Chains A and B, each alone.
Chain A
Amino acid sequence: MRLIAKAGLAAALALLAANPAFAGSPNLAKGPQTLAEKDRAAPEGRAVQIVVDTPQIGATVEIGRVIPDLAAGSKITALTSMAQREADFAITPLRSALKNYDANTKALDAAKAGLAAVPWLNPTPLETAVQPGATQPLDFIAVARTPTVGLVRIGYYLSPDATRIEARADLEIVRKAGKGGGTVTVLVLQHVTSNVVLDKPSFVVRENVARWSAKDGELARSAIDRALGQLRDLIPQSLALDAGKVAAFATRTDVAQGAGRFGPVVERGTAGPGSMVIWSKGLVGVMPASN
């Protein structure tokens, strides 16, 4: 029951249902992991929107499994609500420490630099927003004058146990078709993450938060910078994947667990000693925090 700040996407889907510009209800939350070669080139340009999903470092929650009984739905809601309140409280010292740190601009820059390294993307025009909710993906799709549209959501979060800081980008390309472009098809949807993990973390959340927050959040700032830096490199790598490359991952014998994910190792050491990138339904970067 992972609830990684998908509020923006949920809001977008809710808006979709009410948006008269779209005849059906395309599910923007589902799509192929790779983009077919024939869908890559966009000589006429591709409107791209980048939205920073986190006005400040996001607090994520993990409630584990819930007994599947008749009250499970309401229990999940109640437990999630309680966990979110606790997480928002626990992260307060870190948010205070990062008060004067402009990670939103850095996140935006990382996304722009990552997209700029994709030769076929042709992101024209490129719209950016640092306030989730200020602009909706479906509005952007509706007004875009290009046949395909790119959507990027980028954010940075503290893990539920506060043992890692994760930067995450959701990359999506959709095609508009039909009368007035009212039919939307998701051509690719990828989730790319980069995690900076505390060395010898505590099992007590507030102790980990204290380590990230010490000296005006020195360790957290470094972690966010490094995670966004790796994300910048992984974005073009991810968009370059095709079905053959993803299938080839499954044949690798070097597999590892990192940041709670498990999968074949794509590379080791590229982002510094102890770092690696694994494939686990997306590229997952993991590196140790520099203490």
Chain B
Amino acid sequence: MNAHDDEKIRKLLRAAFPPVAAAGPPRDLWPAVLRRLDEAPARVPWFDWVFAGVLAALFVLFPEVIPALFYYL
């Protein structure tokens, strides 16, 4: 591969994908950003809390399972 070959690829790409003209957003996106900020953070489902609790209890009662778990992860 040489510079000439690279130039061929570059030309082919630029012909297929014309460079983007400098452009800004067609509208002010601030209201959309505010809406996004106002969205409630994702809530953790109750069964995930139950699962985490069961795992924590398992680790406390049977600490020997921890290395086995890491092995299978």
Are A and B physically bound partners? Answer: no
